[in-house]
Amino acid sequence: MISFILRRLASAVPTLFIVVTISFFLMRFAPGGPFNLERPLPPQTMANLMKTYQLDQPLWRQYVHYLSNAVTGDFGPSYIYKDNNVAELIGKGLPYSMELGFYALLLAVIGGVTAGTIAALRQNSVLDFAIMSVSTIGVTVPNFVVGPVLTLVFAIVLAWLPAGGWGDGSLRFLILPMIALALPQLAVFARLTRGSMIEALHTDHIRTAKAYGLPSRTVVVTHAMRGAMLPVVSYLAPCAAALLTGSAVVETIFTIPGVGRYFVLGAINRDYTLVMGTVILVAIFVIVFNLLVDILYGLLDPRVRHD
Amino acid sequence: MADMKETILAVRGLKVNFSTPDGTVEAVKGIDLDVRSGETLAVVGESGSGKSQTMMGIMGLLANNGTVNGSARYRGQELVGLPPKALNQVRGSKITMIFQEPMTSLDPLYTIGRQIAEPIVHHRGGTFRQARKRVLELLELVGIPEPGRRIDSYPHELSGGQRQRVMIAMALANEPDLLIADEPTTALDVTIQAQILDLLKSLQKRFGMAIVLITHDLGIVKHFAERVAVMRRGEVVEQGKTADIFERPQADYTKMLLAAEPSGRKAPPADSAPIILEGRDVCVDYQIGGGLFRGGTSVFRAVDSVNLRLKEGQTIGVVGESGSGKSTLGRALLRLLPSSGHYRFGTTDISGFDRGQMRPLRRTLQLVFQDPYGSLSPRRTVGEIITEGLYVHEPELSRADRDRRAIEALKEVGLDPASRNRYPHEFSGGQRQRIAIARAMILKPKVVILDEPTSALDRSVQGQVIELLRDLQRKHGLSYIFISHDLSVVKAMSDYVIVMKNGKIVEEGHTDAIFEAPKQPYTKTLIGAAFNV
C-alpha cells in the first residue's frame, strides 16, 4: 500500500511538469500581456515594467526561471495585485474556497446518492420521474442563474439568510453559496447513482441474495449499494478538486473572498503568474484526490486492491 | 418404492408471464410438476423453454415485468403470491438455489466466508463470528482445499469450479429440504462439470435433500436424475422416470433432443493435398503487470511452441479447457496478435508480415466467433454487417453487385435474403451464427477459423449449424480450424484433433485415434468426462 502511494506520488512529478509547461507556453502565446491596458502605457514605462518583471528576456529563459523558482515554492509576483505575490494570494483565498467547497461536496454526495438510490429503487415511478426531472434542471440551469434566484428568494423576499459575504464564517452565510455550488454536482451524483444502482440491482449476485431470503434492506444496502458506489467514487475525484478550488461564478455572486475568481481575473488580465499558480493548485488537487479515490476504490473493491 | 415418497413441492397450473412492449409473453403456460422428498428431478429444455422461469417464479425471483399465477405448494404451504417476508422464511433455509454463473452469482466485494455465513446468520440468528465454524465445516464438506485460508478469499481468487463449490456450501448451510440447481455446470469445463455433479450426488446421499436440476443438456441427466420433465415453449411435453425417457421417449421433441448429439465423421483429405496454413513454433506471451514506475513484470506464455499444419480441405479440431490457449492459438495463426514463430500461408512465408501486408490475405483467412450476440454490431443491418468486408477487399463492386453478393451469401447459409434489411436482435442465436458465417463466406475464404461456433447454441440448433458448416466445406473446399471445448462436436466435425493444455499440445492425431485410443491421461480424462457422465 505504501509503495503504491509512493509510486503514485512519484508519477505526479512528470504530470505536474507537463501541466506547467503546457500552460506556461499556451498563456504566453495568447495575444496581449499583463500591461496592455485600455489606454496604452508610454513606451518608456512599458519597457521599464517589462524589465522589472523580466518579461523582456527570451521565453525559454523566463520558463527556466519560473520553473526553478516554482520548485522552491516561489510562484512569482502577481502583475495585477501588486501588493501580494501569487503564493500569498492563494494562501489567503484557499481556506475560504475549501471550506465552502467541502460543505458543497458533502451536500452533493449525500443528497445525490440518496436521491439516486431512491429513484433506482422506485424505477419508472412518479418519484423516480420527479427526482430525475429536478436533477436535469440541476445540470442544465447554470449557477449564475441559480445563485441570483436563491439570493432573490431567500435573502431578499424571505430575508431568511444573508445575501452574500463571508461574515463571521457561520453556516448562515454559507448555505446559499453552498447550494448554488453543490446543485449541479448533486444532480450528477443522483444520475450516476441511479444508473449504477439499477444495474447493480439486476446483477446475478443480487438474485442470489434474494434467493437466500435476505431482507431487502440487506440486499440493497450491503450488496447492491456497495457495488453501485464504484462509479460514483470515480467521479468523486474530479468533483472534489473542482469544488474545493472554488468557483469564480459563485464566489463573485456571493462575494466570497476565495481563490475561484483568480482563475477568471488572472486569465482576463494576462496575469501570467497568477494563472500558473491556480493551474498548479488545481493540478495538485486533482492528483491528490485521484490518489485518495484510488485508495478508497481499493477498500471498496477487493479486485483492485493495491499491494 | 419411489412412488411412496412424500411430495414436497407440488406445482399445479403454474403460469409465468412477462409484459413487454410487444405485448405479453407467456414463458410458462400452466405446468404441473411434483418433486418428492429426497429425489432428483431433472427439468430439461432448450433456451426459452421456461425451465428456469418456472423455478424463478416459484421462488419470487422474476424480473420486475414478470408475474406468476397458479399454485406451487411446498409441504402444503402455498408459495405463489406469498408476501416477500413470508417467502424469505422459506428461501435460503428450506429451499435453496445454485446458479449457472458461479462468478457473477457471488458478490465480488465480500469474502466467500461472509457470503456463506449470511444465510446462516439471517435464518438461524447469531453473529458472523459464531457462524465461522459452521462455514469452515461447509467448505470442508464441499471439498475446498485449505478451508481455513480460503474462507477469507474473494470470489475472484477462486477458480470456476471452486466458486460453484462455494455456492453449494451456501446452499447446504441451512440443511435444506430442496435444492434447485439452475444449470449448475454449464459454465464449467467438462472435467469440472463431472466433479460438481458427483459432489451434488454424494451430498444428496448424505443429507437426503431433494434436487431439482435445471439443464439444457439431456446427457448429464441420465446418471443423475430419477425422474425427468422435458419442457418446450413453456409446456411440459413429457415427464417420467429417467430410464423410460431415455429408452422409450414418447414425444417427438424428446426423441429429437436425444438424437441431437451431432453425428457423422469427416474423412481426412488426400495425403497429396497441399498445406494451406502452417505455424511452426508458435508462441504467444502476455506481459503481466508493468508500467512506468513499477518493476516486476512477469510473462505468461499462453501458447507454447505449437506446430500445426492445415491441409486443403482438412478440419483440425483444437480441444482444451478454458485457459488452454486454444483461442489464442487461432488468433496467432491469423496474425491477429503479437506472436513469435514461423507462419506460412500456401507458399508464402507470412512470418514477418505487418498489418498492411496481411490485409490482402485477410479475405481468404476468416474467423467466426463463439458469441453470435456480441460479435454482430447491434446498430447495423444484417446486409451492412455481411457486406462490410467487401468494401475493403472488393472496393470496385457496385452497390447492386454488393447487394447481389449479400443475397447469395444469405441463401447459402439458409437465411431468407429479405432479412438483410433487418437488425441482429431480431434473430435467434442460431440465425445469428448463420449471419456470422455468411459474413465470412461472402469473401470466398480458403481457411476459416471457427472459435467455439456452436457453444452458445442449443443442441438442436447446433446440429443444423454443423450441417451447414459441413456443406460449405464440401462445396467450396474450405479448410477449417475448429476450436471447441465440446468434444462431441469436434468428433463430428474434424478429421484431425489437437488436444491442448496450458498452452502446449498434449496429444494430437487423427480423430478416430484420439477418441478410440487416447494415449495421454489428460485426453482420457477429457473424453471420459465428456462422454460418460
- Flag if B91 and A211 touch (Cβ within 8 Å): yes
Distance CA A136, CA B135 (A): 48
- Flag if A209 and B107 touch (Cβ within 8 Å): yes
- Flag if A208 and B93 touch (Cβ within 8 Å): no
With cut-offs at 50, 70 and 90, classify the pLDDT of residue B145. confident
Percent residues over pLDDT 70 in chain B: 97
At B501, is the secondary structure helix, strand, or coil? strand
pLDDT at B307 over 50: yes
Residue pLDDT, tens place only, B421-458 = 888 888 888 888 899 999 999 999 999 999 988 877 88
Question: How much is the pLDDT for B152?
Answer: 93
Distance CA B332, CA B365 (A): 12
User: Which residue, among A3, A128, A202, A208, would best test binding to B if mutated, counting the most B CBs under 10 Å from its CB?
Assistant: A208
Q: DSSP string covering A54-96, please?
A: TTTS-HHHHHHHHHHHHHTT---B-SSSTTSBHHHHHHHHHHH
The backbone torsions φ and ψ at residue A201, rounded to the nearest 5 degrees and listed phi first, read -70, -15
Closest CA in chain A for residue B106: A205
Domains belonging to chain B, first-starting first, are 275-531 (3.40.50.300)
- Flag if B93 and A209 touch (Cβ within 8 Å): no
**Can you tell me which residue has the cell 500445426?**
B308
Closest CA in chain B for residue A228: B109
Least confident of A297-306, B169-178, B507-516: A297-306
With cut-offs at 50, 70 and 90, classify the pLDDT of residue A211. very high
The residue count of chain B comes to 533
User: Which residue, among A205, A216, A222, would best test binding to B if mutated, counting the most B CBs under 10 Å from its CB?
Assistant: A205
User: Which residue, among B85, B105, B158, would best test binding to A if mutated, counting the most A CBs under 10 Å from its CB?
Assistant: B105
Question: How much is the pLDDT for A252?
Answer: 87
Q: Is A61 in the B-facing interface, judged by CB distances under 8 Å?
A: no
pLDDT at B371 over 60: yes
Chain B partners of A203 at a C-beta cutoff of 8 Å? 104
Distance CA B384, CA B423 (A): 10
Q: Is A113 in the B-facing interface, judged by CB distances under 8 Å?
A: no
B182 forms beta bridges with B214
Chain A partners of B118 at a C-beta cutoff of 8 Å? 209, 212, 214, 218
pLDDT at B260 over 70: no
Query: What is the rounded average pLDDT of the residues B267-285?
Result: 90
Give B376→chain A minimum CA distance, Å.
Answer: 23
With cut-offs at 50, 70 and 90, classify the pLDDT of residue B1. very low
Residue B463 neighbours by CB distance under 10 Å:
22
Cell digits of residue B466: 454443423
Give the residue from B325, B323, B319 showing the smallest Cα distance to B514.
B319
With cut-offs at 50, 70 and 90, classify the pLDDT of residue A306. low
Query: What is the rounded average pLDDT of the residues B193-219?
Result: 90
- Flag if A303 and B122 touch (Cβ within 8 Å): no
- Flag if A208 and B123 touch (Cβ within 8 Å): no
> In this structure, are residues A132 and A139 in contact, taking their beta carbons and an 8 Å threshold?
no
Distance CA A260, CA A93 (A): 8
Q: Is the four-CA dihedral B434, B436, B439, B443 of positive or negative sign?
A: negative
Q: Is A120 in the B-facing interface, judged by CB distances under 8 Å?
A: no
Question: How much is the pLDDT for B107?
Answer: 93
Residue A4 neighbours by CB distance under 10 Å:
16
Question: How much is the pLDDT for B221?
Answer: 87
Residue pLDDT, tens place only, A122-162 = 988 899 999 999 888 888 888 889 888 988 999 888 888 88
Least confident of A205-209, B8-12, B160-164: B160-164
Query: What is the rounded average pLDDT of the residues B235-264?
Result: 86
With cut-offs at 50, 70 and 90, classify the pLDDT of residue B342. very high
Angle at A224 between CA A218 and CA A230, to 5 degrees: 135
Domains belonging to chain A, first-starting first, are 86-280 (1.10.3720.10)
Distance CA B146, CA B130 (A): 20
CA end-to-end span of chain B, whole Å?
Answer: 26
Distance CA B186, CA A96 (A): 60
Q: DSSP string covering B470-488, please?
A: HHHHHHHT-EEEEEES-HH
Angle at B229 between CA B225 and CA B231, to 5 degrees: 135
Query: What is the rounded average pLDDT of the residues B284-303?
Result: 72
Q: Is A204 in the B-facing interface, judged by CB distances under 8 Å?
A: yes
pLDDT at B291 over 60: no
Q: What is the ipTM of this complex?
A: 0.78
pLDDT at A59 over 80: yes
